[in-house]
A and B are shown apart, each in its own frame.
Chain A
């Protein structure tokens, strides 16, 4: 009995000692790994987009950590921001003391986090657009997505150059983005002495947009500029063609998913988007072809990792590194940031849909 007791005591000591030794080794190992806070929507309406961005980030992490020349290993600490401000705030407080920088997804969450990021000096890459006012007033936030005004500027320039003296109508989504786009478009049109012949609005969840389109087409436009996304956007494009509209459609998104459009009005559809080389992503995961969320996740992760490897884990130095990032090679081309956190994406093109579903570049980036 006494022997058995001794054996038990020894076993307990060995077990606890072993566990303590393992934890010590692990903490030593973890000291060499820099963790970045990743606040992504993993549940809720935009969960799929958040997961796509995460897939891109994981591909980038594998590449970065496989590189034998890098002495710093990078990892991410993923928290669900539910695409909401309260969940983002909770996730931020949980990770703030453990990470030197963040990567976030969602305009609403990053707008809500802006003051905290600024107060805690936490450099952050926002994978999806944030409001211009947020970006410019928060030196910690760097944009990975193009700004609406930039996109509107390129599209409006294309319209004014190629469709001068045409009857131009505008169909937009009811949102701040839609208003920003309209401002840029009307300003550029005013510059050549033109104005919109008609303007209509649809909501993001609108399924039925026939009435708005019928009213718009009543003014006989030659060109319809459509800005939007989600259900209402697709419904609006469908309604345009269903009502027999044969003029040009110039829009902000690749409409490849909509076969009706391609089959019936391919030559008249133009869209302006960043041109991305998906070959690296496709090599790791063929499902990520044409997935811009994955592309921004991948490139956002690469940018943050590069800056940390060059500047260390001090948040202020990471911010400086981001602000000074110039000509970083990505699938979009060489990108740079300015002091205000604005991204310069060079490869922004206008494409024209072809009848076979492919898209041909008709205006190269400048």
Chain B
């Protein structure tokens, strides 16, 4: 029973960074209608920026993290300005933009592999302290991941529901054509969305990289799990992305308990197929009228 409870807690803790990644994917997918594959590139690049700042420029962890996140947000802005916006202005189809996004992902992944090599790079060189409570274990970095990602996810959710500017971002997902009609700066809003998404990817990337190290080819795996969390929870509710992420992470943990680690990917995507077949709007999705689709 302790084992199951331990795995459940691990799932809960892993769910928070995944919730942030789900926001990074969901914001771009919902508001800009782009299947944001380049998010995988943002995820891996952020970790390697931190590694480079600490190892090449001898920066301390605490001073390197803010600069890493600033550079990661700048990279998100560069993707918008250099790739997504030109395709949007040319009225390219979603498929074309998705291929371009995939291209960004592949280029970044390969450049990182060339510069840093395919070997795993460790940011932290010490074992994390572990906290024990009634036979249950949690490491310090797991706790930090849970708290910081929880604050980021909750904070952005609060802003989206309370702040006028953030409400515009959310509303853009419902009625994208109304934004310019209402005299709002469409390109600026697009840029803000990409920067916010990059921020929400950068925070878990730094924490996960610090926890388990860096490898150039892990971006796609995180991107796909985050997209599953968004569709599982429901695309049109912000909080559902977080619930979806936590559910997926807990299910992945329980799979290990019930069967074996080799079934994690199978179960993750089986959930997605099952939900899309029987609840196309996700578990907490909003049912729309046909004319709203």
Contacts and interface: CB of A to CB of B under 8 A. Distances in A.
Interface of A: 43-49, 174, 199-203, 205-212, 214-215, 218, 230-231, 233-235, 238, 241-244, 257-260, 263-264
20 contacts: A47-B110, A48-B117, A203-B261, A203-B262, A206-B264, A207-B222, A210-B10, A214-B3, A214-B7, A215-B7, A230-B118, A230-B215, A231-B212, A234-B122, A235-B213, A242-B139, A260-B122, A260-B126, A260-B127, A263-B126
Interface in B260-275: 260-262, 264-265
B137 A260 contact: no
A235 B217 contact: no
A233 B261 CA distance: 13
A187 B252 CA distance: 31
Contact of B119 (A174, A257, A259, A263): A257
A90 B188 CA distance: 47
Given A45-B109, A203-B265, A208 B260 contact: no
Contacts of B92: none
Nearest to B109: A45
Q: Name the residue among A49, A238, A257 with the largest chain B CB count within 10 angstroms.
A: A238
B260 A201 contact: yes
B125 A231 contact: no
B6 A214 contact: yes
A214 B135 CA distance: 12
Contacts of A242: 127-128, 130, 139
A44 B125 contact: no
A206 B217 CA distance: 10
B122 A205 contact: no
Nearest to A203: B265
Contacts of B130: 242-244
B31 interface: no
Given A214-B6, A215-B3, 11 more contacts: A48-B117, A206-B264, A207-B208, A207-B213, A211-B7, A211-B257, A214-B3, A215-B257, A218-B3, A230-B118, A242-B127
A241 to B, nearest CB: 6
Contacts of A214: 3, 6-7, 10, 137
Contacts of A205: 215, 217-218, 220-221
B90 to A, nearest CB: 28
A227 to B, nearest CB: 14
B106 to A, nearest CB: 9
A207 B257 contact: no
Contact of B262 (A47, A174, A207): A174
Contacts of A259: 122, 125
A43 B7 CA distance: 39
